[in-house]
Amino acid sequence: MHSREFYRMLAVMLALTGAAAIGQGFAWGVPGIVAALLLGGALTALAAVYTLRRYRRIAQLSEYLAQVYTGGQPPRLSGQTPGELSALQDDLYKITSVLQQQASALKADKRFLADSLSDIAHQLRTPLSAILLQCDFLREELPPGEAVEGLAQIETQADRIRWLVESLLRLSRLDAGVVPFEKRELPARQVIQRAAGGLAGLYLKRNVELQVDCPEQLNCVCDLEWTAEALANLLKNAAEHTPAGGTVRVEYSPQALYYEFRVQNTGPAILPEDMPHLFERFWRGAAASPGSVGIGLPLARSIARGQQGDVSAENTPEGPLFRLRLFR
């Protein structure tokens, strides 16, 4: 007989015994009634104690599972009594042990990958810097003409490679969870200025106007450098998908639950088939700009999520809109 069936039968027997005792007590008169009440109370107390112990065991298991779910160190469970709950406890210990081992191994693999990519990025930075320095030297030595134009193309491609290397390095650090985000309260306009500072040449080249709507008195709690990096990728993506003469508008507004930066451009709507893949790494849609490698938007989302936030995209009548939210 299974223990569950046994406990059910025991509870029924206790209830029937108590009822029979009370009924018989009425037949014996007042002394019998008193004795029956005492017996019934004792049986009821016994059943209550048993039920309370089982609920406490269930509460312990619930707390144990909650700690496992949140990644904490689950407490040791006491009371190794035979039964279904003890068997369940043993199974939970086994599963948790395996999961913790796998989590530790995965964390070690992520750190190894981050360190490896860091080494690769360092090895690539040196020759790229040498190429760019040599381009500067040759530009000064060579007369104007096709050679100088060729050097400009070399510089452009070297800059693209350097940006890609740096972006992959940032992504690897975010994936490994080794980025120490330093959140502090600062003017939101400072984040926007830091993000847009390196994009003036791109906006000028594409003849796109950047509009900023962010009152100076509004603040934001975030990591300045990383949040500016995320916002810069959104601004860069917006400029690349805005036709000449168009505008990109960046707005900021603090909400009750989060701080929100919005980037909207007057370019064409995001294609429905592209929308689900916008934040996939190395994915390039049909409307991707020439030279795009599909890393900017995924990087922006990873940075936001590293600060308990997110990045989303939608189409509006005014044009595509990206939201960068950082939850309080």
Instruction: With a cut of 60, say whether residue 6 has pLDDT above it.
Output: no
Residue 236 backbone dihedrals phi, psi, to 5 degrees: -65, -45
Residue type, 260: E
Q: Which CATH architecture has domain 184-327?
A: 2-Layer Sandwich (3.30)
Specify the DSSP element, H or E, that contains 15.
helix 3-28
Which residue is it, tokens 């104690």?
49
Q: Specify the pairing of strand 184-187 against strand 247-254.
A: unpaired
pLDDT in tens, 299-318: 999 999 999 999 999 999 99
pLDDT in tens, 228-263: 999 999 999 999 999 999 999 999 999 999 999 999
Which pLDDT band holds residue 1 (cuts at 50, 70, 90)?
Answer: very low
Residue 57 · residue 84 · CB < 8 Å: no
Mean pLDDT of 283-296: 77
Residue 168: per-residue pLDDT: 80
Residue 260 backbone dihedrals phi, psi, to 5 degrees: -130, 125
Query: Regarding predicted confidence, which is higher, 104 or 265?
Result: 265
Strands (E), the chain: 184-187, 209-213, 219-222, 247-254, 258-265, 309-316, 319-327
Instruction: With a cut of 80, say whether residue 128 has pLDDT above it.
Output: no
Residue 116: per-residue pLDDT: 67
The rounded mean pLDDT for the chain is 78
- Region of 291 (left: φ > 0; alpha: ψ -120 to 50; beta: rest) is left
Domain 102-176 has CATH 1.10.3720.10: no
Residue 76: per-residue pLDDT: 57
In percent, how much of the chain has pLDDT > 70? 64
pLDDT in tens, 56-65: 667 766 776 6
